[in-house]
Amino acid sequence: MTHTARIAELSAAFTDSMARFLARLDAATSDQLTQAPADGGWSAVQVAWHVAATNEAFAGLIDGSIPTAKPAPADFAEMPWSAIATEVPAKLDAPARFHPPAHVSKADALSKLRASEQRVIDALAGLGESRANFTVKSIVGTPISLYQVGNWAAAHVARHNAQAKRVLGA
C-alpha cells in the first residue's frame, strides 16, 4: 500500500470512530453524561476527556511534538495490527496523566475531544513517509510504527465508545 493510501485509510478509520463516538455523546443529556456508573469508574464525559487527552498524545507522537519516536531499527518489521490488538488487555489502567478530572462538564469534554480529533487528523496529514516508519514503544511493550499509532488512535476511540455505550446504558 502506498504511503498516501495508508494515511487516507488511517484518517478515515479515525474519523469514522470519532463520528460514532461523538454521535453517542451528543445524543445524551448532560445528566446522563456526568452520571458515574453505580459500580464505579468514569462517567461518559470523563471517558470523553480521557480520549481527548490520549488523542493529543497520539498526535504529539505522530507530529513529533512528543519527541519519543526514533528511526526504526534495521530489523524492525511491523506486526500486523490485528496481532497487536490482541495484546491489549480487556482492562488497562491508563497512566495518571490520562485520568480525567473528577468533575468535567459536557461542554468542556466535548470541546477538548473535537479539538483533539482535528489535531490527530492534522498530524496524520503532515506525516511524511520516512517519519511514518519511526517507532515508539506501545503501552503493551510492542514497538509500533507511527502508522500504527494511527491505527491505535482509531482503535482507542472505538474501545472507549463501547465503554461510553455501557456507561450510558444504551
Gap between the Cα atoms of 144 and 79, Å rounded: 8
Domain 3-168 has CATH 1.20.120.450: yes
Q: DSSP per residue over 68-131, as a string?
A: T-BPPPTT--PPPHHHHHHHS-SS-PPPGGGSPPSS--HHHHHHHHHHHHHHHHHHHHT--HHH
Least confident of 24-28, 36-40, 72-76: 36-40
* C-alpha cell recorded at residue 41: 469508574
Q: What is the DSSP letter of 11?
A: H
Write phi, then psi, for 144 (nearest 5 degrees). -130, 155
Over residues 34-60, mean pLDDT: 95
What's the pLDDT at 104? 93
Domain map (residue ranges) of the chain: 3-168
What's the pLDDT at 92? 82
Residues in the chain: 170
pLDDT tens digits for 92-131? 888 899 999 989 999 999 999 999 999 999 999 999 999 9
Cut 0.85: pTM above it: yes
Q: Is 5 exposed, middle or buried (0-12, 13-18, 19+ CB in 10 A)?
A: exposed
Gap between the Cα atoms of 43 and 49, Å rounded: 10
